[in-house]
Structure 1
Amino acid sequence: MINKRSMEIIQTIIDQERYHKPCTLELLKEQYKVSERTLRYDLDNISEFLEQQGCKALGYDNDGSIRLNNPIYTVQKAVSQLDFYSMKLTKDERCAVIAYDLAAADQPLTMQKLADSLYVSRSTILHDMDETKKIVSDFDLKLESSKKGLYLTGCESDRRILMMNFYQKAELRQMDQRQTADEQMIDQIVREEIRSIEKQDSLFFTDESYSDLLTYIFIMQEEIKKDRLVEIDYVLRHPSMDAIASEILKKITDALHLKYILTEEYLLSDILYNLNYLRRNDIDENLMRIQIAADEFINAVAVDLNQHIYRDFQFYQNLINHLQSTFKDIPMASDSDDHLLQRGVTDNPEVEAAVRKNLPILEEIVKRSLTNDEIAYITIHVCAAIERSKQRENSLSVLLVTNGGGSAAELLLMKLKRYFRFHVLDVIPEHIVGIYDLSQVDLIITTVPLDVTECETVLLHPYLSDEDCILLGERIETIQSRKKNGAHNRTFLRLENIIANSIVRSSLNKDEIYVNIISDLRNVFVPEMKDQMALCNLLQGHIQVDVEADTWEEAVQKSAAPLLKEGYFNSIYVEQMIQSVYTNGPYIVIGPHFALPHGTPNRGQKLALNLIRLKHPVTFGAKAFDPVYFVCCMSTQDKESHLKPMFHIMSLLRDKECLQALIEAKDAAEIMRILFDYEQML
């Protein structure tokens, strides 16, 4: 018999050989947290298994490294032919499979039938019942018994979610892992839909979330065929994914000639919402509160750690994306690497302490305590932001390709940080490399093999040795040196041309020559702000000073009036802004003396801002941030377009001198100049 750990050890040895890295007992002891004696017993079992499959036993080098004495594909073929009978499941794994079988069954199952299915005794199944009851109760289902056998009661939606979580364990019993014709069709439809979604909606799936979605759809179509439909009173909780769910469901039901049921669409929408994404662009009812809380959390952690990470817009975006995926209301199985997660935490205790200290800011939104894994992921994002703050002066632009989630990528970067610095442009999954613009990329660091010729590529294993990092550092140093020399040459030639042209168009007057050179250099190196998302562009013609208002409600209405008149939104949007404060409190007061009223992110016609400075400040009930002098109405059209200006506003409010200058500014033009100068420094 071969157990799950032995199977994982085989895969680790394969991975190490694939990446030309030694696999030592020390590595396995650290990864699996077991004694050397236990590991040697596992390795003996593996050798015995390989010999039974017609392969050679494991070999050992003089330095103690473990190696395969067979080609990798031969060992993989032997493992793929391993049947369920040969697998020694733990009690937890066995109970999970029992729960799946009961959920999938059309009729009650006897203990003997379950025992036969799992190749164990009826007595073993009997001893597993208490744990099985606990598992199904976690999914709001109940284990019942009758003369005919055991069965589950509860909602169909909860039954589906349980099956989705334990599908992979149950499928180990299938000797023939090839897809049926229907499954192949579903795979093709889902793959095409996801490509379209990623291209049009900037919603990037991890490989794990793609697999989860495919699993659910396999289960869904089987249940519909059995006429076991989602309960008629199922309530849609997350409409932000409804359009995507509708499109996928329509194509699946048309292809398989199934009836389209609205509640099936609702559950699929909620499943999509609860998946993990590398990047997401959907909008839910908590989104704006998450975005504001994320900035408050970053600022608090930055103060505690004395790190300048509050100006890191990439960190802000990553944290929002991660938090939106964290706040789930449907349980999803996770394949996170606990060992790597905990390394990220134990190596950075001061960061973890700062994260834990400021968790109430985030837990106020999710209305529950965050788990240790969730805290570990946030800690890793903070560590990555700290590294980026040290690396800003470096010009090397790196694209990271990984089939893990965003936090898995951050874990890899944390391992690399000891040796070199670079700027990560983006983190993407393997399947979108072909459509990604690589024109600004100097180097691709990837954990999966790629066929890319546009720029240099380095293939790494997530478990990096120090020697690997040093070799990679030498590679990066070479690229940096080549790029730096080229940049210096181009900059010198550009300066030479600018100065020469300035002198040519000047008279012999030294003052005129000086003025022309400075003017020309300023026009080139400090150009007019062209970023359409810059505050000074969005607020052009949308600043009023000395506006009179007696209450905060009137202040919100007056800040909205110009945008309402110009058609950026309707009167319902204004009412929604005020109602949001009544419902959620004064969370729109995002800093000292500054309120940012807004509606639901997709209700505005276009992104726009209108800023008023009150003649007499009003109170919103925002404690330390009252009284409010500035009210900036924001029209939002989607999830992300307003993030940069909002981030700049929140950064500005932390600069006491800049805020005081805005309060004392004589007119709208002076406010514009202050905003322009501040954004130039960001």
Structure 2
Amino acid sequence: MLSERGLQIVDKLIENNRTPITSKTLAIYLGVSERSVKTYIKEVSDFCNEHSMILERKPGIGFVADFTDQQIKQVADLKRDKKIVMSKEQRMSYIMYILLSGWDTYTLSLFSEELNVSKKVISDDINSIFKEFSKYNIRINRVAGHGVFITGDEFSIRRAMKSYCKYSIGNKVIREASDNRISVEDQELWINNFGQDNFEKSVEVIHYIEETYGIAYTDYSFKMLADYLCIQLFRVRMGNVITEDIIPEDENIKYSDIVDKVVEKFSSLSKCKLNEYEKQYIEILLASASVQSNTDLYKAISSDKEEKAKKISGEMLEYLSEILNIDLTSNELLKISMENFVPSSLIRTRYGIEATNPFLGDIREMYSGIFATCFTLTRFYEKYCGAIPTDHEISFLALFVGGALHRNVKTIRAVILGTSGIAASTIVARKIESRIEEIKIVAILSSELMDTIDQYDCDIVLSMISSFEYEDKVVHISPIISAEDEKNIKSKCFEIISHPELQKQGFYSLIDIDNILFVNEKLDKEKILREACKRLYNGGYVNKDFFDDVMKREKIEPTAIGNGVAIPHGTPDNVIKPKVFVVRLSHPINWGGKMVDTIFILAINFDNIGSTKAFFHDFARLLGSGDKIARIRKSSDIREMEKILKEELSWE
């Protein structure tokens, strides 16, 4: 449903119809932070998509609505009638909440009446929910005369609640968060969905752990613990408890003594007893949480894992060093960060616990190359915990690695080439240097002096002249230095930072016209991937299990990486000969919450360090550039796309 603030944004968009409005302006109008605006814009965007209303986000410019008079009238009618206005995602979230909370008396008619849509719409929503719940082995049951209800194990139901209960059911408004590590929006969500007392008791338990053991949880760990503990108390108080082991007998996480104290405190606060299986739940949560100080609790729970953490994080850094052609193993800050992060990350991945990185979207958009490169680290997770990490886990690793690259790289020498006077170009230069610390502007040239560029020793040329080309050094920018400009500059810097002399024999054949597909009709993700994998199989590149392998990975964690791109892939065991299958969609599709129109199905053996290093050097550079992806999108047929891809990947 559209929240009150979401509806306020729609009103503001109508007021500024066909005129750009920035997130900063919306933040001032709503009296919230710009980060909060992103949350509300998401629900507004879902609402607009559901009602075929055009809302575009233009980087560096703002949000531009193009609503018809009829659509504006419909919004006014909905407001006047005081109906609940919901997007499909919000309807599904509401239905999921009801089912996951344990209600078994809701019928299609009751959902239809509450949500102001037809029973057919509710039935379609439940079919979509069925696919989502299957990831957690939760079954939806529809029994005539008994409503709709779910069955599944308690641990899975709680993990599903964490993932899917994204919108407030209640209407309690929170003005100030009780801890600076959580946002007002998150606290409001948890209180409205799981109860204020449950929330307060959960936070009190976390503070008790910190005070008792002299530690401080990271912001993402604090938020994770508060969320899962709140859900636990909510479920237990409703009579839903875990009744079987969730930690295998052969695995000892070594938290039992600490858990006993936490359970005792939890029980005294909440006035409810937690059984031995609920203790296992808390033990997993504590093992999944990262702390900010290496003191009593860290030593108590991590001493026996310290060597293993060093070993695994060391292997990861050696692997990335090979791919990026930079020695990351000698970076002490990065080593310490990885050694502290990896143990809890492996536990989270092993048990399906989600720790949210609030900067995931920014990392996908601004650091696509580094994010794509860190994607290859999934091989270590599969090796050491037998599961695939979420995008959030990968994005944390990308932050660590990206930070190390920016701290240790040489200064990138750049020349500014402008269309106007030196004064205006100087302002542009200062903007760039203030936003991208590795850039050093060594010269500012007007268009009349472009022929003298050979006189300057530079790594890149930042040109405001759209037609100017100079070797492989040019990044075309606008005078305003938009978010897209900044992203393209950072992508070029990343390319220079990790620019080894690579052996690319055979890379030319990785992409060919027989493995490029233009899809002009509306198809879902599974049908698209099935057709692509069928062609790869018929071509002798993969075995028959490749498609199932790809779909299994997609169900666990969608492979959309931003910029309208997804990179689905299978395990090396199912790859016979390396190949990249490219799909271009005329109609973008939802790929795990990101809209995707360009798909690269990677049949690549990531165990081969040489080919992985060479491939991802070029591929990361491609994915990180909005200009390069835009050029691919403009290709009119498969031959043109093949040519453009090989040119942009330097495989010609």
Larger radius of gyration: 1
**TM-score of Structure 1 vs Structure 2, range by shorter chain:** 0.3 to 0.5
TM-score, normalised via structure 1 length: 0.44
TM-score, normalised via structure 2 length: 0.46
